[in-house]
Chain A
Amino acid sequence: MAVRDEKLERAKKIAHRKMDFLRHVIIYLLVMAVLAIINNVSTPGGYQWWLWPALGWGIGVVANFLSAFLYAGGSLEKRLIQKEMEKMGDEE
């Protein structure tokens, strides 16, 4: 029962991170789209200044993406856990 609860907690945490990321990336893309429109309507073909916030904020979004999908319960962590369990099985 304790193992099941632990699994449920972990699953909740991972799902929570993924949903957080989804919200974050949608807001990011919407805001950037608005800034790109303002930039190109006010100065058509001009200097693309909106790429500065796209870069700055984007670095945070990418970090969030990596943490949600690759690390926290994502494929990388899954594979590492599996490998560790395999090792333990060999030792037994």
Chain B
Amino acid sequence: MKSNRSAAEILGIVLGVVAIGLVVTALVYLLGARPFHRMRGDWWPRFEGHWSGSWESEEATEEVSQRVQRLSVTNVSGPVRVEGWDRDTIQVHYVKQARGRQALEDFRVEIQTDGDSLKVRPVYQAGLRFGPVSFDIKVPSSLKEIKVHSVSGRIEVAGLAADVDQELETVSGSIQSERSGNLRAKSTSGAIDFSFAGEKLYAKSVSGRISGKIRGLARGGAVEVETVSGSVDLAAFAGLDAELRLQSVSGSISCGFPLQITEKRRNRLGGRIGAGTVPLSAKTVSGSISIAPLD
């Protein structure tokens, strides 16, 4: 039987079949299925990528004996816990994970001292291989400053002296600071819980509840707490001396301190507690706000 197809048609069909093959290959690779194991040779792209293969993990502990005053941790994915202990050294324990051995070996954790600072971060090769790393870091409780920046993962700081300044930021994950000096806590999606005694407090979340204890507030300081979707619950020491500005678009506002009211509207409450020395503002769009004396 003689075919009446033109060369262009045959080329079109062949290339169409090639395109179908490519789409199926892409689908198989991207979904992590591996039916081609036996037939593929060295020329075949390796499938032990980020999305395929079983999860592999590697953990390590490193001690830093050099005395440092500041700690900076940057992470892409995974929880970060910083805990104070009674030694002068810093111990960094981490568990890194990736799908497949090759992907695991493609990134490392860098622990580097720079003057009086210690920097900890995972270093990835170019490409989209962001394996999660969970950090458990022990530090002298008298450290001066701690900075933790993460993209996805909760941040927890505990067991430190009351005057350690902290800057804790994550895009997705909760933040918990058991005790801090000046505090800057920021989460896009996650709750923030803190206990603060310092000069400046800034806590902001887009989607998450903010709760905290203000154990001390220095003169000349400021407190700013803000969330979009979530409530704000603050408990402050009895001698609080603050100029209060509370604002909630759709939620109740309550103040357990004796307040000299300067502004009272449906969604706003302003006034002075004591002499009103330190500005204290709390805002939310969807949620309630409460401030009460500590038990």
Contact = CB atoms under 8 A, between A and B. Distances in A.
Interface in A1-44: 18-19, 21-22, 25-26, 28-29, 32, 40, 42-43
16 contacts: A21-B12, A22-B11, A22-B15, A32-B22, A42-B126, A43-B127, A45-B102, A47-B51, A48-B29, A51-B29, A54-B23, A59-B23, A62-B16, A62-B23, A65-B12, A68-B16
A51 B25 contact: yes
Interface stretch (B42-50, B79-87, B148-156): B42-50
A26 B15 contact: yes
A55 interface: yes
A89 interface: no
Contacts of B125: 43, 46
B123 interface: no
Given A28-B19, A69-B16, A52 B127 contact: no
A49 B9 CA distance: 31
A48 B45 contact: yes
Range of interface residues on B (Cβ < 8 Å):
20 to 34
A29 B19 contact: yes
A72 interface: no
A25 B19 contact: yes
Interface residues of A, number: 28
Interface of B: 8-9, 11-13, 15-16, 18-20, 22-23, 25-27, 29-30, 45-46, 49-51, 102-103, 106, 125-129
A46 B129 contact: yes
Given A46-B106, A52-B26, A65 B19 contact: yes
Interface string A55-92: 10011011001001100000000000000000000000
A50 to B, nearest CB: 9
B80 to A, nearest CB: 25
A68 B9 CA distance: 10
